Chains A and B, each alone.
Chain A
C-alpha cells in the first residue's frame, strides 16, 4: 500500500467482553454541567451490504472541542458519524463492527439500549427537517415527548433549548406557529434546539450549513463556537474554509480510512501527509 504518515490515535485497550456494561444514566446530573464526553472510535468497520465504507478506523474526539471531518465525496465521513449515534444500522443491509466508546461506555455493547445512545449523542442533519405538523414549541418539545421524558417544566426546557440555539429572541412571540414557517437558517437552529432539548453530551453535525445562505451559515458557526463549551461537537463538512474557521481539530478521510488528524491550524499550514496537502490545496487531480 502507499506509504503514509498516518496519524492514528494511540491504540485503545480492547473493551473486555465479559465486563458488566454500564448503562446510560437516565437522569442527567445537572443540566448546566459543562460535560462533553470523549468519543473514542477503535477499529471501526462499516458496511452497506458488500460496500466497505469505513475501514478499520481509529480516532478520538476530544471533549468540549469541535472536530471537523473533511474528505472527498464517498470517503465515509457521514458513515463514520452515523456509527457514533448508531443510526448506521437503521439502513437495511448495513452493519458495523468495532468499538465506539463515550468515555468508558461501549455503545455497541448489546446490553446498551440504542435509544439511550441517541439521546446522549444528538444529530443535526444537512437539510433542516423540522416536523411539519408541529409548531415551533412542539418541535423543540418533540425531543422530549418522543423519548417519553416525563415531568419537569416543559416550557422552561423548551425556552432553555431555544436560547441555547440562539433562536429564542426570534421566535419567542411565535412559538405556536408552524415550525416550517421559519426561514432556512432559523429552521436549522430550530433543529439544533430540538437536539439540545434531550440534553445530549455529544452533538454530531452532518454538513449542517450546506443548505443555508452565507449569513445563516455564519450564525450557525457562531453557535457552534458557543456550544462547544458544553458539548463535544463533531462536524462533517465538505467546505474546508468552514472546517478551518470552526474546528479545533480536523480529520481527513479518504476511501474509508483516516489519513491524518491534527490541530486544524497544522492541517491547513503544514499537513503531514501529501494526500492531505493535495486535498486541502484543492489539487486533487
Chain B
C-alpha cells in the first residue's frame, strides 16, 4: 500500500548542518563588506560639509586644505567623456556580434578579444594611453583630462559590449523574424525593434560600466594626473576623485587624510546611486 515514510533523523541533521555551513560562509563574505562601509562612513562623514563640496584643493600645507569640488567635477567630466566614447562603440560592437556575426569566424574572434580585454588590468590601459598619447604629446600637451577619458573608455568598452551582447541576445529572435517577415531591411529591424526592446537592459549595463569607470584610479595616474585647483579644461591636467584619494591618503597631515576619506565616501555614494539607478531601470524592463 502506502510507501510514505517519515524523514530519517540522520538526514534532518545533515540538512541543518548544510544550512549552517552556507549561512556561515555568507556571513564571512558579508562581514568585510559591512566593515568597509562602516569605516567609510565613520571616517568620511566627518569631512562632509558645504565647503567640502564647493571648494577646490588648494595645495596648502597649513590651514584649510580645501575641498574636493574640482575632483568631483573632474570625475564627472572625464567619466562623461569616456561614456560618450565607450557606450555607443560598445553597443555597436555588441550589435555587430548579435545581428551579423553570430556564427562567423570573425565574430568569434571579436568576441574572444573583447573577453580578453575585460581581463586586462586597468593600469595597462593607463600605460597604453601614456605611451601613445601622453608621451607623444598628442593634442599639444602632456597630461590631459581627455586622455584620461580615453583610458577610462578603453576600460569601459569591453564591459559595455559584454553586457550589451547579453541583453541583445535576450531579445527573442521571434521579434526579429516578425520584423524581417514584414519586409523590413535589417538595419531597420535593429534600429526600430531590437534596440528599443533591449533599451532598459542596455541602460543598466552602461550604468554599471560607468560606475566601474568612475572608480578607477590607475588609468588616470599616467594620463590625467592629479592636480590641485580647478580645471574644467579637458585638454589640461585634471583632478578626479580616485586621484584625489590616492594623492591625499599618503600625506602626513591628518586633514588631508580626512579629506581622502571624505572623497572615498563621496565616490562610494556616487557609485551606489548609479547602481540603484541601474536597478530601478532594470526592474521596469521586461527582459532582465
Q: Which residues of A contact B (CB under 8 A)?
A: 85, 87, 90, 92-93, 115-119, 122-123, 125, 127, 129, 131-133, 142-143, 145-148, 191, 194-195, 198
Q: Which of B104, B177, B178, B184 sits near A115, CB closer than 8 Å?
A: B184
| A188 CB to nearest B CB, Å | 12
Q: Is the CB of A146 within 8 A of B183?
A: yes
Are B286 and A146 in contact (CB-based, < 8 A)? no
Q: Are A146 and B184 in contact (CB under 8 A)?
A: yes
Contact partner, A147, options B183, B197, B199, Cβ 8 Å? B183
A146 touching B182, Cβ below 8 Å: yes
Please give 14 more A-B residue pairs, beta carbons under 8 A apart, in addition to A87-B180, A125-B177, A131-B193. Answer: A85-B181, A90-B180, A117-B183, A122-B181, A122-B182, A129-B174, A129-B175, A131-B179, A132-B175, A132-B286, A146-B182, A194-B182, A195-B181, A195-B182
Interface contact A142-B102, CB-CB below 8 Å: no
| Shortest beta-carbon distance from B159 to chain A in Å | 25
Complex: how many Å from CA A191 to CA B179? 11
B88 touches A (CB below 8 Å): no
Q: CB of B29 within 8 A of chain A?
A: no
Residue positions of B touching A, CB distance < 8 A: 102-104, 172, 174-175, 177-185, 188-189, 192-193, 196-197, 199, 286
When distances are taken between beta carbons in the complex, the residues of chain B under 8 Å from A119 are: 182-183
Contact A191 B178 (CB under 8 A): yes
Name the CB-closest residue of A to B178: A129
Contact: B103 with A93, CB < 8 Å? yes
CB-CB < 8 A to A131: which residues of B?
A: 175, 178-179, 193, 197
Q: Which residue of A is nearest B103, CB measured?
A: A92
A146 and B179 in contact, given A92-B103, A93-B103 (Cβ under 8 angstroms): yes
Residues of B within 8 A of A123 (CB): 181
Asked whether, in the complex, the Cβ of A147 is within 8 Å of the Cβ of B181, the reply is no
Q: List 25 A-B contacts (CB under 8 A).
A: A85-B181, A92-B103, A115-B183, A115-B184, A115-B185, A117-B183, A118-B181, A119-B182, A122-B181, A122-B182, A125-B174, A125-B177, A129-B177, A129-B178, A131-B178, A133-B196, A133-B199, A146-B182, A146-B189, A146-B193, A147-B182, A147-B183, A148-B188, A195-B182, A198-B183
